[in-house]
Amino acid sequence: MQELKTDILVIGAGSGGLSVAAGASQMGADVILLEGHKMGGDCLNYGCVPSKALLASAKLAHAQSHAEPFGVADRAPQVDYAAAKNHVRDVIAQIEPMDSQERFEGFGVRVIRDWGTFLSPTQVQAGNFVITARRVVLATGSSPLVPPIPGLDELPFETNETIFELRDKPDHLLIIGGGPIGMEMAQAHVRLGCKVTVIEGARALGKDDPEAAAVVLEALRAEGVEVLEHAMVARVRGKAGAVEVVTEDGAVHAGSHLLLAVGRKANTDRLNLQAAGIDRTHTGINVDDSLRTTNRRVYAIGDVAGGMQFTHVAGYHAGVIIRSALFGLRSKAKTAHIPWATYTDPELAQVGLTEAQARDRHRDKVEIARFDYAHNDRAVAERRTTGFIKVMVVKGRPVGATIVGHQAGELINLWSLALANNLKMSQIAAMVSPYPTIGELNKRVAGAYFSPRLFENQMVERVVRLVQRWIP
């Protein structure tokens, strides 16, 4: 065994781990990075990047058959499913160099391509190396959850780690799970010419605002996606090319392929956390608000920390612990300003409190400002009028925003900025947006918040009449 010593040991080369490794190394720390699988982690190889690439192919296919309102003849798209997957592979390949071993070695990071396992609270083994580090950062991410459904071990199924390698187009894709992954893949596949059935045990898109989620579900159903809610799976059966999902009410749903999209589980099995004195929770690793584990030398970030499972959260966590581990500054991770988006068409985005959460927490102090896409001129010009934005406001400051519609994932950025910096609605209203843009929706919803105060206020009317009468 070869013994190594370092300032920072990062285990996991996904979004969060790479951010820590690059930042710490470039600021002068000695850094070792361990990765036993693919550089770039889930986001690059199995998640954000390939899913958005496949959705892009599906969007173009859909546009060909829905062009008539713009004066362009509709054409049935000629979909080459394998070629669409080649597009996905090409997109990954273009981004791979940014996450490559060579690039991070160029930053001065020592990259060891092996799994890390704790030997003690201060030592980690990776292959033939035993590493002692002043600080350890666990950034091992998460993997698809495979539930104990009877019969699942007897037939082939896909997860997000395998679906992007599938080259034969499914005739009928059955998806168990109606969360963001399930709904994105449902729309992508129905637009690429597959029949799709989504089977969800509770409410589809259940973590999002119900009113906004309903807009997305209506759109998907209109495109041909069958969405079954409150349909608990009892068992599965069949063989390759002929799969059946049986729900608890006895209904049988037959298809050619099965995709599991029921959630994620933190990757901790290889770490031997007990040897390091690190406690777990049912969702991941137990951390405090500084992202420290029960071993004060060890941090956990991203999915493995057991909180919000988004790539941008892992990147945010990286910044939090760099301030703590490198500079010794007290630094806390917060969640109120963390946005998320589902990239269906229409998109669905959220930051802060939903309407229901805001009413529950703030009671009659919360006000809801709302503006519909149908009143945005750019949305009208592009026939993208489905959707709305609503902002939850308490004492003049936004505490949450819900957006469903075209480019919702882009629009939500402003509200994350507002929540992160405790901005007032008056500051949003003071913004000037170029006309005509979809982004103008953000300013208009702020205007909708102030409209009753200006146009339905008798005192304002009296002041205006006095000014007009007495000021020359």
Instruction: Give the residue numbers of the binding site for NAD(+).
Output: 177-184, 200, 263
Q: Which residues contact 93 (CB under 8 A, 6 or more apart)?
A: none
Distances (CA, A) of 349 to 29, 387, 391, 423, 444: 37, 11, 12, 19, 18
User: Which of 40, 42, 64, 54 is closest to 166 using CA atoms?
Assistant: 54
Per-residue DSSP letters for 164-215?
GG--SPPSEEEEE--SHHHHHHHHHHHHTT-EEEEE-SS-TTTTS-HHHHHH
**Beta bridge pairs of residue 359:** none
Question: If you ran DSSP here, which 8-state letter would residue 118 be given?
Answer: E
Asked whether the beta carbons of 246 and 161 are under 8 A apart, the reply is: no
Helix axis angle, 440-455 to 458-470, nearest 10°: 80
Within 13 A of 89's CA, how many CA atoms are on the CB side? 12
User: Which of 47, 24, 11 is closest to 312 using CA atoms?
Assistant: 47
| Torsion of Cα atoms, 109 then 110 then 113 then 114, to 10° | -110
Are β-strands 347-352 and 366-372 bridged in parallel, bridged antiparallel, or unpaired? unpaired
- Residue 220: which H helix or E strand, with range? helix 210-222
Can you tell me the distance from the alpha carbon of 30 to that of 32, in angstroms, rounded to the nearest whole number? Answer: 7
User: Which of 107, 111, 101, 30 is closest to 325 using CA atoms?
Assistant: 30
Query: What residue type is 25 in one-letter code?
Result: S
Query: What residue type is 354 in one-letter code?
Result: T
Q: Which residues are annotated as a binding site for FAD?
A: 52, 116, 140-142, 303
Q: Which residues contact 472 (CB under 8 A, 6 or more apart)?
A: none
- Residue 448: which H helix or E strand, with range? helix 440-455
Asked whether the beta carbons of 110 and 32 are under 8 A apart, the reply is: yes
Q: Which residues are annotated as a binding site?
A: 52, 116, 140-142, 177-184, 200, 263, 303
Q: How far is CA 48 from the centre of its chain?
A: 8
Query: What residue type is 232 in one-letter code?
Result: M
SS3 223: coil
The angle subtended at Cα 258 by Cα 252 and Cα 264, nearest 5°, is 115
Question: Which tokens belong to 331?
Answer: 């630094």
